[in-house]
Every structure is written in C-alpha cells, then in structure tokens.
Structure 1
Amino acid sequence: MRAALIPEPGRPPVVADREPPEPGPGEVLVEVLAAPITPLDVLCASGRSYFGVPRTPYVPGVQGVGTLDGRTVWFPTPAGMAPGDGSMAAVACVPEADLVPLPAGVDPVRLAALGLSAVAAHRALLSTGGLRPGETVIVLGAGGVVGQVAVQLARLAGAARVVAGARSAAARERASAAGADAVVALDTDDVAELAGRFTEAAGGPAHLVLDPLYGVPAAAAAQALGPGGRLVNLGSSAGDTFPVDSSTLRSRSLRVLGYTNNALTREERAESVAHLAGQELTVAHETVPLADAGAAWERQAAGAAQGRIVLVV
C-alpha cells in the first residue's frame, strides 16, 4: 500500500510502498478516504513535543475518515505520540472501539478538515466555557480551524454577538466568512489598545473568551470581559505566558479555565464528532493527493496553505 512516512524527526514525510498493517486483538483495518495535516502532526514529527521523540519511520496522522464494511467512519490514532502508525496511508489499523460511525452522505474531506480541532472548539466553548444563549463571545485565533468552528458554534448556540480576533488579513477574512459580527486585527502588542478594540467591537463587556493563542491577545481579551466572565485557554501560539494583572482578575471575579482534548473520554470524543458531523459546519480547506504529502506538509507547517490541508487517498 502507499503511505506517507516520516523518515526521521524534523523531516517532512516521503511517500513509499509498505506492507499493509496486521490488526491485533480488537483492531480493524480502515480504508482511508481523507487525512488532515494538523499542527499536532507537525509538532509530534518534529521530535520537540512533550510526547518525546517518535520512533521512525512511522506513518503520521492523528485522525482520519475512512470506510469499514461499507460504513463511513471517523477515527483517531496516537501516531507520533506513541509507537504505531497513523492515518496518512491507504489503510489504517485502528481499535474498533475508537471508530465513530458517520451519517450517510457526509463529506469525508469536510469532516476530516474539522476533526479534532472542531472537537476542541465544541467542548471548550459549550462544556468548559458554558456558553449560554444571549451572551457575547470573543473568539481569538478565529482564522484557524478551532476559531472558525467556534464562531459558527457560538452562532448555533444562540450567542447574541460574536467578536473574532485574528492576525493576518487572510485569517480575518476567514473569520468574517465564518459569521463573526465584528473582526479585530491582532496587529499590535499593546494590551490596552487591543482591549479597547475588543470592548468596542463587543458593544460592552463580553461574557466568554475562547483562546487558542494566550499571550498578549488573551490578556487584552480578558480586560474586555465583564463581571463573572470566563476565559477558556486551549493553546499558546502567541506566547507561553499571560500578562494579565491581578486587579483585572479580582475586580471582576474572572475565571481562567484550561482545556485539552487529551482529557476527554472515548465516549465524550465520539459524542462531539457525531454532533459535529450532523451540523452544517465548514472551514477553509484544500485537498491534496497522498502522493504529494511531502510538499503539502511543508506548506502546512510554514503556514502557507489556504486553510487546513486534507490528504485524499
């Protein structure tokens, strides 16, 4: 079978022929239709993640969409986080208990593009963040997959106003296309300036911030929260620290909450995937043949792709 292989940590995958995997107890072989290239895939393959240096060569891909006995299914893998292969191959070996059946007619590429990023947006926004109808939400990093999904989910959940924050012009266009009421440019490190922009765009104090960025944007968005406001952090692409002063937290009794998909049970993850599959959600994405995985990987890693790249087999 054809498969993308990470030859050694820090290098993009090369496509080669290899023997199909042999399923063990409780495992099944899924014929892969679509496999996204995600930031987690790139991080794991770099050898610099907190999961350690992966054993190479291995097939990357922490998730995918495929078929088993004529059924379309979504599946996760631990590729790059633990020994074993992932989804970027013609066939993937997956524990049967991890499979999530998908509705008939679902677009496998669209769902692969959503994937675990959409699960994070769903859980962080509605479960951890506790979004309620009528509230005002600020979504940071709204041009990314998590952010685009969060904007759409906030709308579906009855948010009164959704304010997006994004860095590049292209990201701001994606956030606007996702349905944000207002889009704030994250083009300065001046916390007070950004906080003013968020407050103005929100039309008053906000209730909830969804934050995949941390750093200065999160500190500014926190200042735009009203009494009892919540900030849910699920990433740190803008910085590893959060420069917010004590008085901002205490004077408004703000809550800062952390979220990770790693804390989900198998049942919770499956519930989110099934829910998302039934919604009219979409994110900016492009499809690339598995044969071109190496070049696609480098574009996704460099941020040069027009949205999420999905490999099709």
Structure 2
Amino acid sequence: MSISMYAAVVRSLDSAPKYELFDTPEPSGTNEVLVDVLAAGLHPRVRSQASGSHYTSTGELPLIPGIDGVGRLPNGQLVYFVAFDTSLGTFAKKAVVDLRRSVPLPEGVDPVLIAAAMNPAMSSWVALRRRVDFQPGQKVLVLGATGNAGQMAVQIGKLLGASQVIGAGRDRDRLNSLSSLGADVIVSLSGDPEVAAKRLGEAASEVDIVIDYLWGKPAEFAMISMLTQRRDRSRALTWIQIGSVAGATAAVPSAALRSANFQVLGCGQGSVPTAGYVAEFPALIHAIADGRLKVNAVPVPLSKVEEVWNTPSYSGQRVVFVPTI
C-alpha cells in the first residue's frame, strides 16, 4: 500500500499546481535515496516545465514540478540536488535523489538561499566555466541583465575575473541596481529596438563574450551593431545563447559569420552533460554561502503554491517553496 505525501501537482498544463496528497515516490536504483525536501526554487524553468513549453517537456501528467532543491538524507546530511528528468519533481515533501546528481552542503548553510540562487547562477557560471575558455581580464556583456539570472551573471562575470561587465536590459530601475552588483556599464534597451542596438554597439562592441538571455530581435540587432562597430573583427567574439525571453528564433546574418571571428553557441541541458554541472556545484555553492553572490530569497509554504504561482515577483526576488512550514 502506497504512503501519501503532500505535493504541488499539475493535472492540466493550463492550470497552476494544486497542493494535494500524492503517492510518495520510491527509490529504485542503487544510487537512489528518498530525501526530505527542505527548499525548492520557483524558477522560470519550472514554470515552463509545468506549462509544457520547455524544450525538454514531454507533456506527461500528472506532474510534480520542480527541477532542483535542498534535501536532508536519511543520515541527516543536507545536500543540493538536481531532480531526475521525470514527472516527479521537487515541489513535494519528499523526493527521490540520485546521489550522483547531488553534493553535500557546508555546515550551517541556509537551504532557502541555496535553493534560490543555484539555478539562476548556474547558467552563466557553467557558460563561462564549461562552454568557453574564459580568461580573467576579458570583457563580458550580459544581454538581459535585469532578470534574476542576468543579475547573477553580472556578479559571476566579476567574480570570475572579467575586467569589464556591461549589463543591458529594459527595466530602468533594475538597470540602475546593477552597478551595486558589479556592472561597470549599463545600457538601456528601451525604446526603438534599432536605436537601442546602436547604443549597445557603442558601449559593447569590444567585449569578448556575450551572455544572452533575450535572443529574438534584440539579439539580431545587437549582433549587427556590435560587429559593425568592432575595431578588429578578427578578434574573437563568442555569443552564448542561454535564454529566449524576447523570442525563440533570431536571424543570424551570414555576413556576420563570414566577416568576423564570431561564433554563436548555446548553454543548457544537452550542451553540457549532467556530470559537468555537478562538477561545478561545490565552487558555486561556496560562493553563494560565503555571500559573494547575492540573491533575494523569499520563502513561501508549499501549501500556498496555487495562490503564489501566478503572482509576479518583485525585482530580484526568487520564491522558494518550503514544504515544512
């Protein structure tokens, strides 16, 4: 007879998850263990998982959303873990963890802080550590720097040794806050897209790496503007595509690839193996735990998942569901 637990459950891709009883999952492999979930972040990736719109989604229902979290092992050890790519996620009292996709947490670390920060920080951290040969002293542009992941990318660029970090985005208030996170230059993308791209080209034509959370038309216009104004087009410019909040497709001009030392690559599930992500966990966890990376974590009882799901968060906030409160 199955034992039940409370979880956030998606039964329709058009509706928010509901807090209800659900069968407790059972470990089945030699590296699997059932953990008590202490905290799990409500990331944009989780919203797309629950709506079936993420590129990895299968549409399988019912679905417990949640892609990562902090849990307590049966021996009492706290771990950060990434969930299986199945319909049984982390927004629940308990979750099955593959120990190969987890790392122990330092003594006294705040589970809510780790659950809030790891996912938005991981994209740019892995991009700079695993997808390119990033060298201290290089210059970085964060396109879409006013979102949570973008704000993390600004901090991570500086932490890993960038000589200049340029943050570009539309929200003026959030842009102004980037200076306190380490941005050397901020560029507004508001107004006419082509005019905004010209401003961006003037400010960022000499960067070495672009971390792009926007894609779509902003990326199209920015590529042309930056390469046109670049003094030495034979010097490498690497464009790392991570998010697509401004559009799923962008037309890359063929001339951009022929007339400059310009490469476009992506960073996400599939382009970096799970083992590559896990290898980066300890250093990133220590950076968060030591306060070198800042995040505004907002703990919310998991029982309130339905009412919180569609409520917009304020700038820089990351909702973290806590099943135990």
Match of 1:234 among 230, 242, 252: 242
Q: Give the corresponding residue for 1:266.
A: 274
Per-residue deviation, residues 9-61 of structure 1 (Å, max 9, x unmatched): 22111112334322223221111111011222211221344445533223211
Q: Give the corresponding residue for 1:71.
A: 77
Q: Give the corresponding residue for 1:15.
A: 19
- Check 1:52–1:181 CA distance in 2 against 1; reply closer, same or farther (3 A cut): closer
- Check 1:190–1:243 CA distance in 2 against 1; reply closer, same or farther (3 A cut): farther
C-alpha displacement at 1:286, in angstroms? 1.9
- Check 1:217–1:267 CA distance in 2 against 1; reply closer, same or farther (3 A cut): same
- Check 1:35–1:186 CA distance in 2 against 1; reply closer, same or farther (3 A cut): same
Per-residue deviation, residues 114-154 of structure 1 (Å, max 9, x unmatched): 22332221111233233222222110111223212211111
Q: Give the corresponding residue for 2:200.
A: 198
Match of 2:113 among 105, 110, 115: 110
Unaligned runs of 5+ in 2: none
- TM-score, with normalisation over the residues of structure 2? 0.85
Q: Give the corresponding residue for 1:57.
A: 62
Distance 2:57 2:298 in 1: 30
Q: Give the corresponding residue for 1:297.
A: 309
SS in 1 for 2:294: coil
Match of 2:97 among 82, 94, 97: 94
SS in 1 for 2:70: strand
- Check 1:52–1:64 CA distance in 2 against 1; reply closer, same or farther (3 A cut): closer
Distance 2:64 2:150 in 1: 28
Distance 2:157 2:52 in 1: 35
- 2:283 is aligned with 1:275: yes
SS in 2 for 1:309: strand
Structure 1's consecutive aligned runs of 4 or more residues displaced over 4 angstroms after TM superposition are 303-306
SS in 2 for 1:285: strand
| Aligned residue pairs, count | 306
CA contact 1:120–1:261 (8 Å) conserved in 2: no
CA contact 1:198–1:224 (8 Å) conserved in 2: yes
- Check 1:187–1:305 CA distance in 2 against 1; reply closer, same or farther (3 A cut): closer
Letter in structure 2 aligned against 1:205: E
C-alpha displacement at 1:197, in angstroms? 1.8
C-alpha displacement at 1:92, in angstroms? 0.9
- Check 1:19–1:215 CA distance in 2 against 1; reply closer, same or farther (3 A cut): closer
- Pairing of 1:122-161 with structure 2 (within 5 A): 122-161=125-164
CA contact 2:220–2:251 (8 Å) conserved in 1: yes
- Check 1:287–1:142 CA distance in 2 against 1; reply closer, same or farther (3 A cut): same
- Check 1:243–1:177 CA distance in 2 against 1; reply closer, same or farther (3 A cut): farther
Unaligned runs of 5+ in 1: none
Letter in structure 2 aligned against 1:214: W
Per-residue deviation, residues 224-259 of structure 1 (Å, max 9, x unmatched): 254321111112111233244333333322111122
Match of 1:44 among 32, 46, 49: 49
Letter in structure 1 aligned against 2:28: G
Letter in structure 2 aligned against 1:143: T
Letter in structure 1 aligned against 2:209: L
Distance 2:157 2:95 in 1: 34
Distance 1:104 1:162 in 2: 33
Letter in structure 2 aligned against 1:281: L
